Amino acid sequence: MKQERFDKIISTQFNISRRDARIAIRRGKATLNGKILRDFGALVDVDADITFNGQALNYKQYIYILMNKPKGVLSASSDKKKQTVVDLVPENLKRNGLFPVGRLDKDTTGFLIITDDGDFAHKAISPKYEVYKSYLVTLDGKLTDEMVKAFADGIVLADGTLCRKAVLTILGENTARVKICEGKYHQIKRMFGVVGLGVNELKREAVGGLSLPPKLKEGCCVELSLEEIQAIFTNS
């Protein structure tokens, strides 16, 4: 069974600083298996019966939060001036070390995972694992079958970078779904730029086999289960 220092468990799981955790533990605010434990350095089983300020602990090594990112917010952990996606995470889901998995542009909306699990983030982003990201796009001009073919062949960006094959599905005269399995800087906008179109609206609707829940409003978050996290690695 996994063991951790008592102050570490209290600080990570209840989102307080290590110093505050130690003070509170010393003051008798935490219990282990029904008894107050004041020894903040004690090694404790992470799935023991632990409470803090009367609240029972449900230990989670990592947290996975799905946000419907609104426009105008930075995909970053913190910023001196601008609001970030991590600033929007509600208090009950906040933890130290949260970061967004990949970046959506400031004006892009939709599916964004925020976590403290670096290995998961690497797997979800790395083109090696071929996790497809699906976007709904509104363009400033007419889509053609030639563009569908160009995306399928692999677009060469203006700076000579070759993109992997992408799936472009025309939904209307100037609306489309695009699926890509990599995340180059401004990739979708630059790919459409190559075929002569500008992007008016961009929304990410799914990553791998997990879609944005239709009821999740912009700026809102839900915590994902481990099963939902696994669905990301099954491409749909």
Q: Which of the residues are catalytic?
A: 105
Q: 177 Cβ partners below 8 Å, 6+ apart?
A: 134, 135, 136, 137, 167, 168, 169, 171, 205
Burial of 109 (0-12, 13-18, 19+ CB in 10 A): buried
Nearer Cβ to ligand URA (115/187): 187
Tell me: does residue 186 bind ligand URA (CB under 6 A).
yes
108 binding ligand URA? (CB under 6 A) = yes
Among the candidate windows 26-34, 57-65, 111-119, 182-190, which touches ligand URA by CB under 6 A? 182-190
Minimum Å gap between C-beta 111 and ligand URA is 10
CA 168/CA 176 separation, integer angstroms: 7
Q: Which is nearer to ligand URA, 22 or 133 (CB)?
A: 133
Selected from 105, 182, 201, 205, the binder of ligand URA by CB under 6 A is: 105
Q: Name the residue nearer to ligand URA (CB basis): 59 or 129.
A: 129
Positions in 192-211 near ligand URA (CB under 6 A): 202
Among 11, 32, 187, 229, binds ligand URA (CB under 6 A): 187
CB of 7 within 8 A of CB of 21? Answer: yes
Q: Residue 206 in contact with residue 212, Cβ under 8 Å?
A: yes
Does 104 participate in binding ligand URA (rule CB under 6 A)?
yes
Q: Where are the beta strands (DSSP E) in the chain?
A: 3-5, 30-32, 35-36, 43-45, 50-52, 55-56, 64-69, 99-100, 109-115, 133-139, 167-172, 175-180, 199-207, 210-211, 221-223
- Work out how close the CB of 104 gets to ligand URA at its nearest, in angstroms, rounded to a whole number: 4
**Shortest distance, position 233 Cβ to ligand URA, whole Å:** 20
Decide if 163 contacts 182 (C-beta within 8 A). yes
CB of 105 to ligand URA, least distance (A): 4
- Residues engaged in binding ligand URA (CB under 6 A): 104-105, 108, 186-189, 202
